[in-house]
Structure 1
Amino acid sequence: MNPESLNPERETFMTCAELLIRLLRDTYGVDTVFGIPGVHTVELYRGLSGEKNDGESGGIRHVTPRHEQGAGFMADGYARATGKPGVCFIITGPGMTNIATAMGQALADSVPMLVISSVNRRDTLGRGQGRLHELPSQQQLIAGVARFSHTLLDPDGLPEALARAFAVFEGARPGPVHLEIPIDLFDAPITPPRAWQRRRLSPAAPSPAAIEQAAGWLAGASHPLVLLGGGCADAPEAARSLVEALDAPVVTTINAKGLLGRDHPLDLGANASLPAVRELARDADVVLAIGTELGETDYDVVFDDGFTLGGRLIRIDVDPQQLARNRHADLALVADAGLALEALAAHFAGPHRARGGVARAQATREALALARDPAFATYVPLFDTLREVLPEAILVGDSCATTYAANHLVAQPAPRRFFNASTGYGTLGYGLPAAMGASLARPDLPVVALVGDGGVMFTLPELACAVEERLPVVILLWHNQGYEEIRRFMDDAGVTRLGVDIQAPDFLTVAHGFGCLATRVATPAELAHALATRPSDGPLLIEVDAATWADAVAPA
């Protein structure tokens, strides 16, 4: 059977729910769905797993989280690790309000996610009759955390609605898309299309004249600087080719880590909030920003508005509205980041003009001195150990101390191997379920969740799902006795601590209760042993007491 099209020769009709499964699986290549079944979504599960209509095995894998927020975070991690949209099946009402937080994080970070939900019968919508799971307008509520939210009122419109969703994922700035289907349509008979071809979109190409102008500005620059964001994640070769031709220092945002490879001499990492990188930005005569929103959580995490650009700014983004936000561009190009990188790199083929970029980047790194910075001293041995034992691992972070440090310290060998919830929306509870989604998407790579004792409590029950699915995720739990980041802000503001010194459970006992292996470590050597002997068929929770670890790694 052609995986690109639907051609159900044997059926003269099927239900709307059955057609949905066929389209997802056979036309769009969806292999995994995250969701919790409910009375309103039972029909979605008819034929979800089973045999294709040509006799070949290959149903869609269904993963059951313990909360719809976990479903959204798992889909997010799956999408970030692969670039393919994560897909969720969600129940009417409370299921949708539960997943809204995860959708908000995905929207902020431009993560492709398809959320398919039920909604009450068409004849009851908006009538306020007290129906099960009823909201005044589920569609309006969710529209604020989605690229768009659509209510299917005619089953014949299903193929078009899915095509619109995948058009967003493939041809625009991605993000969550919500499709709700009234429960009276799930079992409605529909004559399937004889063939439904997937509509392949050509990404938006940059204007040749604008590329010519941008290349001219860059060619004439003596101190260029390049800012690469997560929109460039699928174009690492073009990115390396361009920055090396320009001999320009590069700031790679959190979602662009690994884009240039590990320890590239031009890569300054996600350190735009630190003084040495800010000085470089002020001194640059031309700045090229591609696939980055130039947002606060990438360039100003100290929240002082101190990141300024001294030279002319060239911005390239697939979203024209984004080019009007945050920073005024002297030259703005609407284009796919990868195509723009390739077009610019073609202008600089051949001998490269030396601009001292490597030397400037090296001087900036020496000024940063991250490995010697007292703020990071506790964490350097942690990430050195992770890199030594699991050099290829995907690191997935919650909003927690180890993630904040990793944003500055960690270098990755390839894109899509480092992401977390400290950017954009900045939710808690992300790390564990998102790491599970990444593990499902990339079973060929180790996956480590960086979580804290506060944030992990938001989604700790997902350990049960990790055990059930036998996912070999390492949960590295940094225990600093509550909400350390908020404690620090309260102390700095002269506010008496309240609500931040919270009670934690015995995490090892809780993990064992779920059937999850768990251990405590106090030194880098113990951590290395735990990582090296981790199970291959299930999760491992490693608890690190922050104070004990700090004492162990402190200089003698």
Structure 2
Amino acid sequence: MTTCAQRLLELLETHSIDTVFGIPGVHTIELYRGLADSPLRHVTPRHEQGAGFMADGYARASGKPAACLIISGPGMTNIATAMAQALADSVPMLVISSVNRRDTLGRGQGRLHELPDQQRTLAGVSVFSHTLHAGEALDEIVARAFAVFKSARPGPVHIEIPLDVMTQPVADTPIKRAAVYPPAAAAAGLDAAAAWLAGAERPLVLLGGGCVDAAADARALVERLDAPTMTTINARGVLGEHHPLDLGACASLPAGRRVAAKADVILALGSELGETDYDLVFDDGFALTGRLIRVDIDAQQLARNQAADLALLADAGEVMRGLLERLPVAAARDAAAQVSATRTALALREADDVAPYAELLDTLRDALPEASIVGDSTGPVYAGNFIVEMPAPRRWFNAATGYGTLGYGLPAALGATLAVPERPVIALVGDGGLMFTLGELATARDAGVPLAVVVWNNDGYGEIRRYMDRHAVARLGVDLPAPDLATLAEAFGCHAARVDDPEALGQALAASQAATAPTLIEVDAEAWVRHR
């Protein structure tokens, strides 16, 4: 026999979890019994929100979920924001929490960390949230979580374990781990989709984040179709750099919308067709008049945002391979010329919201061309969502999509560094967002990683300032002079540099990779813009 808490560690190892983010507390002590002697790596953030963002970045960079061990009550409300971001962007994350004894739940006795109903509170930011009422059910519930991660639209799963259940004895039986496969589309649906695409005069492909693990199939399919292709922010890099059929994330812009409106058959793969990818101007102006084929691993998503004419419940990669089998001859539609003309019409690098940041983004790529860039909600990231190209997926992601939280960039970048240590990582953040999770500099220092934290310092919330100005609202609460960031970084035991031109930024980025602690690189926004 073993305890439920000890069994949990065995289950995590069996299901290939190798990293756990958590802050120990009196309600999670039993979860830590034996953790120091296990193969699991434990990382201690400075806030539970940081733990969630780290797990998010870990999963996005590697494709593998991490686990979080979180105390009941305030620990769970702290991590809820990170879970909501992960849920919005379909990022797998296993959140294990404590909760008070079963006999006290729902009684309102004012016990330590008590919530009226913790499970229901977290259900809204989870794929599912479960209270474990008996230790012998633990194997089943953990298996359910991994079935979701591997065969459904992923997201956070929350399992709370009452204090008295943690110490329950459970049988130390062999752990059964199923081979789980995602759903495949019905042959009739694939036949119909292939026929529509073969007969199309002006097809359009929309690639979403559900395609990141099928990049080779995506490239082969769009080339076979010879179709213009829009790739969402979460699909950045699926077609590689400078692909002649890739329009990028231009669905919110007039030239991109004209392409979409003229398409007679649209194939949407692994995309929710949501506002933060297709309607960043918030006018509901992304119109599809052609026949829409939707492919998604979530049945409900097939009916949201845009009505489909043909809906396939399936893994995007499986569908792409099925279509390639049914479309053996490459079409010749001269789509590359159309894409080139649309890119010229878009003139993205000259746009008012992009031009100030283009040279900054170029410098990041030139200095560390293999790096993953993990962003917060900040001006350079918004611009990069339009113009940055990546050689492969899972190298450009940020919190500007979906839930759109601040404070994501630094901890998520640390998670990405821990997940793929052989690849450089740049955290691209603003001074406003950095202050949300500044304490995670200490966590990154503890990890001893050469993380480059590039801070666009414009003394406050620059994007909201511009929004207020544009809508004739008097500025209030947005002019917030930053502290001395270099001194703060050094106080944390990190390296620091101040730069205001591309040459200095490139040098600081190169130097950061030889360090054994993070380097905070502060970009003086006003001086940088003057340099242009």
Band of TM-score, shorter chain: over 0.9
Deviation digits for residues 467-525 of structure 1 (CA, Å, limit 9, x no counterpart): 01112111110011111111112112211111111132111111111001010111101
* CA deviation after TM superposition for structure 1 residue 248, in Å: 0.4
The 5-angstrom pairing of residues 91-490 of structure 1 reads 91-193=71-173, 195-349=174-328, 351-490=329-468
Question: Any stretches of 5+ residues in structure 1 without a counterpart?
Answer: 1-12, 52-58
The residue identity in structure 1 corresponding to 2:498 is R
* CA deviation after TM superposition for structure 1 residue 190, in Å: 1.6
The residue identity in structure 1 corresponding to 2:257 is R
* CA deviation after TM superposition for structure 1 residue 429, in Å: 0.3
Are 2:61 and 1:73 equivalent residues in the alignment? no
Alpha-carbon distance in structure 2 between the residues aligned to 1:255 and 1:132: 40
Alpha-carbon distance in structure 1 between the residues aligned to 2:107 and 2:352: 60
Alpha-carbon distance in structure 1 between the residues aligned to 2:7 and 2:257: 53
Alpha-carbon distance in structure 2 between the residues aligned to 1:531 and 1:223: 44
Alpha-carbon distance in structure 2 between the residues aligned to 1:391 and 1:355: 33
Tell me which stretches of 4 or more aligned residues in structure 1 moved more than 4 Å: none
SS in 2 for 1:268: strand
* CA deviation after TM superposition for structure 1 residue 372, in Å: 2.8
Are 2:11 and 1:23 equivalent residues in the alignment? yes
The residue identity in structure 1 corresponding to 2:77 is T
Q: Residue in 2 aligned with 1:500?
A: 478
Give yes or no for contact 2:18–2:66 (8 Å, CA) kept in 1: no
Query: Of 19, 22, 37, which aligns to 2:24?
Result: 37
Deviation digits for residues 285-329 of structure 1 (CA, Å, limit 9, x no counterpart): 111001000000000111111111121111000101001110001
Deviation digits for residues 324-353 of structure 1 (CA, Å, limit 9, x no counterpart): 11000111111111101111112222x412
Alpha-carbon distance in structure 2 between the residues aligned to 1:511 and 1:441: 23
SS in 2 for 1:449: strand
Alpha-carbon distance in structure 1 between the residues aligned to 2:365 and 2:473: 38
Query: Of 523, 527, 544, which aligns to 2:505?
Result: 527
The residue identity in structure 2 corresponding to 1:216 is A
* CA deviation after TM superposition for structure 1 residue 377, in Å: 1.9
* CA deviation after TM superposition for structure 1 residue 536, in Å: 3.7
Are 2:487 and 1:509 equivalent residues in the alignment? yes
* CA deviation after TM superposition for structure 1 residue 86, in Å: 2.1
* CA deviation after TM superposition for structure 1 residue 260, in Å: 0.7
* CA deviation after TM superposition for structure 1 residue 72, in Å: 0.3
Alpha-carbon distance in structure 2 between the residues aligned to 1:186 and 1:210: 47
Identity of aligned residues (%): 63
* CA deviation after TM superposition for structure 1 residue 387, in Å: 1.4
The residue identity in structure 2 corresponding to 1:500 is V
Deviation digits for residues 69-92 of structure 1 (CA, Å, limit 9, x no counterpart): 000000000011111112100001
SS in 2 for 1:487: helix
Give yes or no for contact 2:457–2:482 (8 Å, CA) kept in 1: no
The 5-angstrom pairing of residues 9-20 of structure 1 reads 13-20=1-8
The residue identity in structure 2 corresponding to 1:203 is P
The residue identity in structure 2 corresponding to 1:39 is V
Alpha-carbon distance in structure 2 between the residues aligned to 1:396 and 1:492: 28
Question: Any stretches of 5+ residues in structure 2 without a counterpart?
Answer: none
Q: Residue in 2 aligned with 1:8?
A: none
* CA deviation after TM superposition for structure 1 residue 49, in Å: 2.8
Alpha-carbon distance in structure 1 between the residues aligned to 2:454 and 2:325: 43
Alpha-carbon distance in structure 2 between the residues aligned to 1:295 and 1:326: 6
Alpha-carbon distance in structure 2 between the residues aligned to 1:265 and 1:538: 40
* CA deviation after TM superposition for structure 1 residue 363, in Å: 0.8
**When the two structures are aligned, how many residues end up with a matched partner?**
531
Alpha-carbon distance in structure 1 between the residues aligned to 2:483 and 2:515: 26
The residue identity in structure 2 corresponding to 1:142 is L
SS in 1 for 2:522: strand
Alpha-carbon distance in structure 2 between the residues aligned to 1:29 and 1:317: 26
Deviation digits for residues 25-76 of structure 1 (CA, Å, limit 9, x no counterpart): 1x1011100000000101111111325xxxxxxx100000000000000000
Alpha-carbon distance in structure 1 between the residues aligned to 2:279 and 2:451: 32
* CA deviation after TM superposition for structure 1 residue 255, in Å: 0.4
Give yes or no for contact 2:493–2:517 (8 Å, CA) kept in 1: no
The residue identity in structure 2 corresponding to 1:459 is T
The residue identity in structure 1 corresponding to 2:177 is R
* CA deviation after TM superposition for structure 1 residue 428, in Å: 0.4
Alpha-carbon distance in structure 1 between the residues aligned to 2:337 and 2:34: 60
* CA deviation after TM superposition for structure 1 residue 200, in Å: 1.5
TM-score normalised to structure 2 length: 0.99
The residue identity in structure 1 corresponding to 2:522 is E
Alpha-carbon distance in structure 1 between the residues aligned to 2:172 and 2:266: 52
